[in-house]
Amino acid sequence: MRPNTRNKNKRQRPSDAADSYSQILRKIHEANDVTEKDVKQLFMITKPLCQGCRVNTRDNPNCFCGLVPPPNGSRKSGLWQKTSEIIQALGPDLSSELRASDSTPAGLTNLGATCYANSILQCLYMNTAFREGVFSVEVDVLRQYPVLDQIARLFAQLYASKKSFVDSDAFVKTLELDNGIQQDIHEFLTLLLSLLERCLRHSGVFKAKTIVQDLFRGSVSHVTTCSKCGRDSESSSKVEDFYALELNVKGLKSLGDSLDDYLSLEHLNGDNQYFCGSCDARVDATRCIKLRTLPPVITFQLKRCVFLPKTTAKKKITSSFSFPQVLDMGSRLAESSEHELTYELSAVLIHKGSAVNSGHYVAHIKDEKTGLWWKFDDEQVSELGTHPFDEGSSSTTQSESNGAASSGKTKDVNQSGSSSIKSEVFSSSDAYMLMYSLRCGKKESQEGQRENPIDITNGEVASVRHPEGCYLPSHLDKWINDLNATLLEACKQFDLTKESQLKTLTERRQEVRTILSEAAVQSLDEQYFWISTEWLRLWADTISPPALDNTPLLCSHGKVLASKVTSMKRISELAWTKLESKFNGGPKLGKGDYCRECLMDGARMVVSSDSYRDRRTFMKNIAIDVLSGKCEDGNYYVSKSWLQQWVKRKNIDAPSEADAEPTNAITCSHGELMPEQAPGAKRVLVPENLWSFLVEDALRVTPEDTSGCSSFPLDSIQCSHCTSELSEVAGVEDALRTIKAKQRQNHDKLASGKGIALTPQSRYFLLPSPWLVQWRSYINMTGKNSSSVPEPELLDGVINTLKCQKHTRLLERLPELVYRRGSLFQKNPSTDKLTIIPEDDWKYFCEEWGGIVEKGVSAVIEDGSNTNRSASQDVIDLDQDSSPDVNMEIDNQQLIIRTSPEVCEECIGERESCELMQKLTYSEGDVSVCLVRGKEAPKSMLNASDSSFEVDRRTSKRSRRTNYGKQTSLKVSATTTVYQLKMMIWQLLGVMKENQELHKGTQVIDQETATLADMNIFPGDKLWVRDTEMHEHRDIADELCDTNSGPQDIEEGFRGTLLTGDITFEAC
């Protein structure tokens, strides 16, 4: 049974441990001797051995817990880090990239968005005839045309490399493809085959020279036949080559239906009649496509991408489409063939995803030799078995015409009318391209078919036969062997490093656990040694620890310091011997290597500290009496605030830096006693014994200060210079307070911000509202902070800013008026740019703030019912927000504000136009959008149409809930369209674009092509949106795909790459 050490090992409080340590030192000082008992107590030797502590305790030198984790535990770093993480830190394990077997095909790395290229390259490589044709090209031709060289090297790696996937970076760079842009797989195949065909024509090997056209190229003709004379048009005899047949998918369910649609007759009649040269007239006719020749490998491009004229966007058709395993093309030829044209499905290229210009391409390809299907998904290659689709995928074998999945359905495929072929039919909603290979191994080139070149290894290139039967050119064979040798050597070195690391790790962990299990000293009489805890932790947690280092434990005499007992451990002689022999270092600190001299010095310091602490406690009581006014025999001045802080500090063994300069705060710049009226110069008188103690501490803290501490006895005189300055400042402040009080009295209502009742036919003046606000803050601020508010500007300059320079007329629009409780008031004095003030107030302001009465902007409110309007008059319709009886009296009443000088509409218009242009051209700003729940929006939303232009205002982008719905902030610009804004709302608030009813105040925002500037939406505006729920919700990804492929984005395709460039020796 494990002993209970919970209470024995309970950690003491630091204060308790310090007190116990001090008591032992006092005892040593009193006895003037160090006993063995004292040593055991000071070094805590008698503490029990720790067992099962959670952490390693500092106050027990016999505790070794927590230095290593539990048997099954681990740590984030160091020796006890998880083994898997330590191995991972060695670097990539290349052996994990080796092929599972030679029969497993290799994958290709995806460089970002190159899955389309990987899928096509795998299809070409898995075609044995094409692969061997590429391998037969002469070395000189490969050197001249880098494209051929790179595809040959790529095929060689796919064939003989030991890696499970091959890096296609060199090939992609040679073609100058942008690996970050997804491209169409059919376009890539067509351009690549065309490029390879042009390069291979320079080869001297006959079958390599024409391998592309022999395998992949067929021909068609577009035949137009006159319904009247039965003759074909002249262009009908022209034959066009193809690498792939593009078949419609929309509205069609199977490959047979698509082929029928592709070869169907089109009737030309009505406005679309054909002009027949033989008949010399526009006549009815038929037009169709006729297959002239078929290649050994037929590629069908399924046109799943359709153009939507209404939205000018592209959409992917995801309907299920069926295709047979075996396809008879004999009946499809324009001219019947004597030979059987039966094709077998050899590859299915799949496009995953709902978007046209994104998604992911995967290839399912059949191995010609084994008949097994493989799934090529970039680096990952997996076996599918004898069917092109694995179970549980979206592309499955059909048993019914409605697309129900089953293990397979055998159907009679009778397309030629001459034979019946048993074939499975497969169905897929993502199949994008189908490849069929001619079932026969060799056919003569006649009547609609070409020779299938399957034996092209007897060329001019030196080759090496591999066990699988493929001939690899000798230069590629050597290159691949070197790559494989380098790879296998790297795997071997990694395994050796891994084995060595694991061995070292195991040995170190065992060593640490073994030594720690032997480290405890079992008896007090047994020999022991001291070791640094810091080094011990490092040794126990490091794979390669440094040399043993005990120097931090030593005093100046080279012995063990008792004060370092919390930084060292007491270990057995056996453990010390093992550590010393392996890690060297030292010094060796044994049982009697404690420093007696340092212990005696420490004892003297403790006693001295006790004496200082007792004196300080006594002086603190005197200081408390001084601060409370109980001490009346004070002789010296000290700073009151400094003494208050001194009293609050805890008792310490020696003075600290804070004890310096007790009179610094009451000493002026002239070195004399500062007047007590000065800020922070409050002082108190302390008795002479307290003063002596404070001066003594101050000198001990700053012995380098030769001037000492400033002394101010009871009879010290205040500095005359500082007293004079303070008197002057006080006089100025008194005068300022008087002036402010006088202005508050002169402008009672303006100072308090109360509304001023206006009377028609009376004369008033207009002041800038910002100046009035600043004046009000200035005169109402009194006391210590009065100087923090700046004075307003002089009125003469302020009034000049209200007038335009061109005409010297008023440059601001006049405020609106309103009747309240039977009196006339300014409607919005807090927001208006101008404030109407009485004439008396204006005159007082001119006297107080340097204005000229005659230069002011005067205003007279007149009854406009019988007055002819002129350009200098502003006619104002009053808001009637008073009682019904009052409204009856003033109904239809209009008032005119006549100003002098009059309002300058021309300059105001120019300024507002400039401000509007600034608002219309903002590049970045925030608008808030609130999702309103319910039928009606709150008034705060309806009244939010008048917004201020605050470009720099910071707002949160996170959605937050309000009382009426979710609210979020959007980053927009003046050129952001309403459509883009709705897409942001869809993404952040989850309301589908078609269901959004967007408003700015009462204005409906519904023109999706308009910009925010067109709709007068500016930074700081508050918009609100309601979810009509009229349309069924759909995924935002569909809309984003349509947006990305819209007319505003020009598809670059392969423009600028080698696929569309001219063929030269340097480029190809």
| Spatial distance between the Cα atoms of 880 and 865, rounded to a whole number of angstroms | 17
Question: Of 632, 728, 745, whose CA–CA distance to 686 is shortest?
Answer: 632
Instruction: Enumerate the β-bridge partners of residue 286.
Output: 225, 267
Q: What DSSP element (H or E) covers 530?
A: strand 528-532
Residues 6+ apart with CB under 8 A from 596: 34
Residue holding tokens 């740019």? 833
Question: Of 869, 867, 873, 877, whose CA–CA distance to 901 is shortest?
Answer: 873
Please check whether residue 1045 is in contact with residue 306, taking contact to mean a CB–CB distance below 8 angstroms. Answer: no
- For 666, phi and psi rounded to 5 degrees? -110, 10
Buried b (16+ CB within 10 A) or exposed e, 651-685: eeeebeeebbbbbebbbbeeebbbbeebeebbbbb
Residues 6+ apart with CB under 8 A from 1038: 354, 355
Question: Of 297, 244, 375, 345, whose CA–CA distance to 133 is shortest?
Answer: 297
| Spatial distance between the Cα atoms of 535 and 537, rounded to a whole number of angstroms | 5
Assigned token pair, 614: 């007792």
Of the residues 50, 63, 65, 115, which is catalytic?
115
Question: Of 271, 267, 270, whose CA–CA distance to 285 is shortest?
Answer: 267
Question: How many CA atoms, within 13 angstroms, populate the side-chain half-sphere of residue 394?
Answer: 12
What is the DSSP annotation of 184-203?
Answer: -HHHHHHHHHHHHHHHHTT-
Question: Of 50, 46, 58, 70, whose CA–CA distance to 4 is shortest?
Answer: 50
Of the residues 360, 475, 491, 668, which is catalytic?
360
What is the DSSP annotation of 264-284?
Answer: --EEE-GGG-EEETTTTEEE-
CA torsion sign for 701, 707, 708, 711 is negative
| Spatial distance between the Cα atoms of 386 and 424, rounded to a whole number of angstroms | 12
DSSP 8-state class, residue 1053: T
Please check whether residue 833 is in contact with residue 761, taking contact to mean a CB–CB distance below 8 angstroms. Answer: no
Active site residue 115: yes
Residues 6+ apart with CB under 8 A from 325: 344, 345, 423, 424, 425, 426
AA letter at 300: F
- Classify strands 107-108 and 165-166 as parallel, antiparallel or unpaired: parallel
| Spatial distance between the Cα atoms of 373 and 114, rounded to a whole number of angstroms | 22
CB atoms inside a 10 Å sphere around CB 296: 26
Quote the Cα angle for 261-263-267, to 5°: 85
Question: Of 195, 209, 215, whose CA–CA distance to 138 is shortest?
Answer: 209
Residues 6+ apart with CB under 8 A from 653: 609, 612, 613
Active-site residues, by number, are 115, 360
